[in-house]
Amino acid sequence: MTETFQFKLLATDGKARRGEVSMPRGTIRTPAFMPVGTVGTVKAMYLDQVRELGADIILGNTYHLMLRPGPERVARLGGLHELIRWPYPILTDSGGFQVMSLSGLRKLDEQGVTFKSHVDGALHHMSPERSIEIQGLLDSDIQMQLDECVALPASPKEIERAMEMSLRWAERCKVAFGDQPGKAMFGIVQGGDIPHLRVRSAQALAELNLKGYAIGGLAVGEPQEVMLDMIDTTVPHMPFEKPRYLMGVGTPDDMLKSVARGIDMFDCVMPTRSGRHGLAFTRRGRINLRNARHAEDMRPLDEESSCPAARDYSRAYLHHLIRANESLGGMLLTWNNLSYYQDLMAGIRKAIEEGRFADFMAETQENWARGDL
């Protein structure tokens, strides 16, 4: 651990990178998957379980936390780490993405976003400066700039407008963040599915000399090949020596293919949300435990797994719990899924260290294709 924010590259294998982000609250081994701790909890998990599975960092959603318990209250209670009992790094998003997807958006202009809370209908305004202020009150370790993510498909004019405003907001967020040695503010590359706008955004953000950079505006419903094309377009214009974070991604296959293109950090609700709905991720692909074919299958999800949820419970029981809408069903499948995601990231890191990432990727995809155990 260090008193400052540092990123160092330990190994590369093709475009894949093995690195470490060192911060006062801990070290993040990259490539890293960040479980989403939406409202100060990784849903259906105890945070010590999340840590035991290998998570070095979790994500908090600024939109949800600003509505309740509220940033000033969290600050009075000692900050988010103290409140939720997670002493390791936390990354917070800016809130803008969820304002635009969850709230009753009322106005979006140069000053920021004005919206009605989905909780109580109260009116809120969030400027770039307020977003950074809120993330500071939460005592977030990695803070994201406020940006505007345009849902695809969208017109080139609309995508360019949003990208240029996001660049201006990035400059305002940098000023508001100031100089916080043990913390970082990341910029977010926008530009939709238009290559020259992606390049413009990445190059302009690089000029700001921020501590890390995210690729936003993807995982918003576009086909995987479009996402991968935009990663290929954007990464060469992102600073090589800074961490690269692909927001909202993704499935295990998305992450493998993105690591192969030079991405270091991921977050996604996929393992937690789909676990609560009965979907299990395993080394032999996905298993939907709602399916009647599991009703009398006494096999575990994966007897070779180190996770008790995968090794010690039958598919029949998991099927029963999910069909009965019992909390334990979502708890066990969330536990299994986060275990699988973290095991996959650990396998990726080791493969890059040993110069065999391409073989690891091919073997992993072959196992998925072989189907259920």
Ligand X SMILES: Nc1cc(N)c2c(=O)[nH][nH]c(=O)c2c1
| Options 13, 56, 93, 254; binder of ligand X; rule CB under 6 A | 93
* Least distance CB 84 / ligand X (angstroms): 19
Buried b (16+ CB within 10 A) or exposed e, 275-305: bbebbbbbbebebebeeeebeebeebbbeeb
Using only the alpha carbons of the chain, give its radius of gyration.
20
Q: Is residue 98 a contact partner of residue 117, using CB atoms and an 8 Å limit?
A: no
| Options 7, 86, 97, 317; binder of ligand X; rule CB under 6 A | 97
Determine the size of the site formed for ligand X (CB under 6 A).
12
* Least distance CB 96 / ligand X (angstroms): 6
* Least distance CB 208 / ligand X (angstroms): 16
Which residues sit opposite 113 in a β-bridge? 108, 126
For the segment 115-154, give every residue that binds ligand X (CB under 6 A). 147, 149
Site string for ligand X, 169-208 (x = CB under 6 A): -------------------x--------------------
| Options 75, 220, 316, 346; binder of ligand X; rule CB under 6 A | 220
Rule CB under 6 A: say whether 91 interacts with ligand X.
Answer: no
| Options 35, 71, 216, 329; binder of ligand X; rule CB under 6 A | 216
By C-beta, is 170 or 219 nearer to ligand X? 219
Active-site choice (93, 141, 147, 264): 93
Q: Is residue 65 a contact partner of residue 33, using CB atoms and an 8 Å limit?
A: no
By C-beta, is 190 or 282 nearer to ligand X? 190
> Within a 13 Å sphere around the CA of 71, how many CA atoms are in the beta-carbon half?
20
Question: Could you tell me which stretch among 218-226, 292-300, 324-332, 348-356 binds ligand X (CB under 6 A)?
Answer: 218-226
Report the candidate in 9, 8, 13, 28 with the shortest Cα–Cα distance to residue 354.
13
Q: What is the DSSP letter of 51?
A: H
Report the candidate in 21, 17, 29, 33 with the shortest Cα–Cα distance to residue 184.
21
343 an active-site residue?
no
Report the candidate in 213, 209, 257 with the shortest Cα–Cα distance to residue 235.
213
User: What is the token pair recorded at 324?
Assistant: 């009965």
Q: Which residues bind ligand X (CB under 6 A)?
A: 93, 97, 147, 149, 188, 216-220, 247-248
